[in-house]
Amino acid sequence: MKLALIQQKATANKTENLQKGVKAIEEAAKKGAQLALFAELAFEPFYPQYPAGEDKNRLAESLSGEIVSTLREQATKHNMVIIPNFFELESEETFDTSVVINSDGSILGKTQMIHIPDYQYFHEKTYYTPGKQSIGVYDTAVGKIGIAICYDRHYPEYMRALAVAGAELVVIPQAGAVGEWIDGLYEAEMQIAAFQNGYFTALCNRVGKEDNLIFSGESFICNPDGKLLAQAGSQTEEILYGDINPEEVKHSSAHELFLPDRRPQLYSRWI
């Protein structure tokens, strides 16, 4: 499976951001990519830098809006699985949502971030309703894919649940800023998740300066042994490519040792 992690800078112009993403998909298709992954709110400004106003709903769009409709066309055109993240309006509630578009343009489902942070420049509780759906793993044209949206990756029980549900690859759309956590923690956290749970991880980050924040980029891919396979640069717009073999999942330490020996009946009441 050839992955394309599209690390791009967003501006206030959603349409221009989306067209930049379309061009990146076209470039990735020429390189043989079978799956394209975008960062958190890849086509929109990072709204949560500032607390939300009463009119926040006008910033969001539905599953039938411009972003998803455009990318469904691209998925069909290039026979590619595409996973974008966007600010979703569902009824009168708003969510941080990733949608899984299969290679035929069909929507397999969506994942909404369920753990919502609130700290300086990340006022996300004022924008997002916590997701209400149970954890999903999507059986796509290229394999079984789970999603951990940004903050959700910090919860080991969430990451383990994706493994139990059969994920071969977990994708992480992120908005991670320079200095937000100590250097190397982004990578270490996902390397450990990959090793403990026996799947590939692919984290796609925002990049560039936006008002108060500098998003660090440095998107990366890890294998089920916890090895860092590839990483994008810091402060550069680029497409990070990686070739992964889902067959490695079944031979990982987690699948041969850790997962078969789980005893959740003894500790599930505390998680």
Rounded mean pLDDT of 206-211? 97
Q: Is residue 267 part of a domain?
A: no
- The partner residues of 208 in beta bridges, in order of sequence, read 215
Mean pLDDT of 170-197: 97
More confident residue, 256 or 135: 256
Question: What is the reported pLDDT for 134?
Answer: 85
What per-residue confidence (pLDDT) applies to 135? 87
Specify the CATH number for the domain of residue 69.
3.60.110.10
Domain assignment present for 271:
no
Q: What is the pLDDT of residue 133?
A: 86
Does residue 270 sit within a domain? no
- Dihedral in degrees, nearest 10, Cα atoms 258, 263, 266, 268: 70
Residues 6+ positions from 54 with CB-CB distance below 8 Å:
none
User: Would 9 be classed as within a structural domain?
Assistant: yes
Q: Which residue has the tokens 């975008």?
A: 38
What is the average per-residue pLDDT within 199-211?
A: 98
Q: What is the pLDDT confidence band of residue 7, given thresholds at 50, 70 and 90?
A: very high
Whole-number pLDDT of residue 271: 81
Averaged over 109-138, what is the pLDDT? 96
Which residue range forms the structural domain that includes residue 189? 2-262
pLDDT beyond 90 at 176: yes
The DSSP call for residue 200 is E
Predicted pLDDT of residue 253: 98
Instruction: Please state the domain count of the chain.
Output: 1
At residue 240 the predicted structure's pLDDT band, cuts being 50, 70 and 90, is very high
Mean pLDDT of all residues in 158-179: 98
Q: What pLDDT shows up at residue 97?
A: 99
51 vs 230: CA distance, rounded Å: 35
Is 55 inside any structural domain?
A: yes
Give residue-wise pLDDT tens across range 32-81: 999 999 999 999 999 999 999 999 999 999 999 999 999 999 999 999 99
pLDDT at position 168: 99
Neighbours of 238 (CB within 10 A): 15
Structure tokens at 120: 């300086």
Residue 52 located in a structural domain: yes
Look at residue 7 and tell me if it is in a domain.
yes
Residue 269 is assigned to a structural domain of this protein: no
Mean pLDDT score across all residues of the chain = 97
How distant is the alpha carbon of residue 267 from its chain centre? 29
Strands in the chain per DSSP E? 2-7, 35-38, 81-83, 85-90, 93-101, 107-112, 137-140, 143-147, 169-174, 200-205, 207-210, 213-216, 220-222, 228-231, 238-243
Which tokens sit at 270?
A: 């505390």
